[in-house]
Amino acid sequence: MGRPSVREARRAKIVSAFARVLADHGYAGATIVAVADEAGVAPGLIHHHFDDKQDLLSALLELLLRKFRGRVRQNKSSGDLLEDYINGTLRLDSNADTTAARCWVGLFAEAVRNPEFFKKIRKLVDGEISAIQKRSANRLSVQDAGAVLAFVVGSLVLGAFAPKKTAGFAAPGLRRFVAALMSRA
């Protein structure tokens, strides 16, 4: 695979800067000027690469989703797809990213306010619930798979606000929760 183009590299740099600003200042505080300052570029360059702040938001969603799925793919150690999912989503390790956790909170909050972005998040949530159900070999119902995702999302939210206070509880707690759900199935 070849090197990314200068355009792709610049877009990635801007999206990373947007993530940091969003994580620290929320969506309202993630102005084009603030993102440009963080990225070390002129605001006009951001407008050259992105139509508007919504376009940046969509690019950030794609980045976070790639990272999230990459973490899940990297955790294929147990041989159990659902256990690997738990490890990939919630295990605290050197790949844990508190900025990403805070960005997820910002994305969910913006989805509540923005109907078009809500549709994207809703599609993502529905797909993730289906994936969890498949990982359980369909032993989890749609509702139970949704409860697993709710646990993951809730853990991300708590981790974003109080990472040191919540460190280490989520993956073991989700394992117990999934075991209880599976015992009913």
Q: Could you read off the pLDDT tens digit of each residue along the chain, which spans 185 residues?
A: 566 688 889 999 999 999 999 999 999 999 999 999 999 999 999 999 999 999 999 999 999 999 888 888 887 776 789 988 888 888 766 666 788 888 999 999 999 999 999 999 999 999 999 999 999 999 999 999 999 999 999 988 887 777 776 667 888 899 999 999 999 86
pTM of the predicted structure, to 2 decimals: 0.86
Secondary structure in 3-state letters for the chain? CCCCCHHHHHHHHHHHHHHHHHHHHHHHHCCHHHHHHHHCCCHHHHHHHCCCHHHHHHHHHHHHHHHHHHHHHHCCCCCCHHHHHHHHHHCCCCCCCHHHHHHHHHHHHHHHHCHHHHHHHHHHHHHHHHHHHHHCCCCCCHHHHHHHHHHHHHHHHHHHHCHHHHCCCHHHHHHHHHHHHHHHC
Map out the domains of the chain as residue ranges.
Answer: 77-184
Please tell me the predicted confidence (pLDDT) of residue 3.
Answer: 67
Please tell me the predicted confidence (pLDDT) of residue 72.
Answer: 83
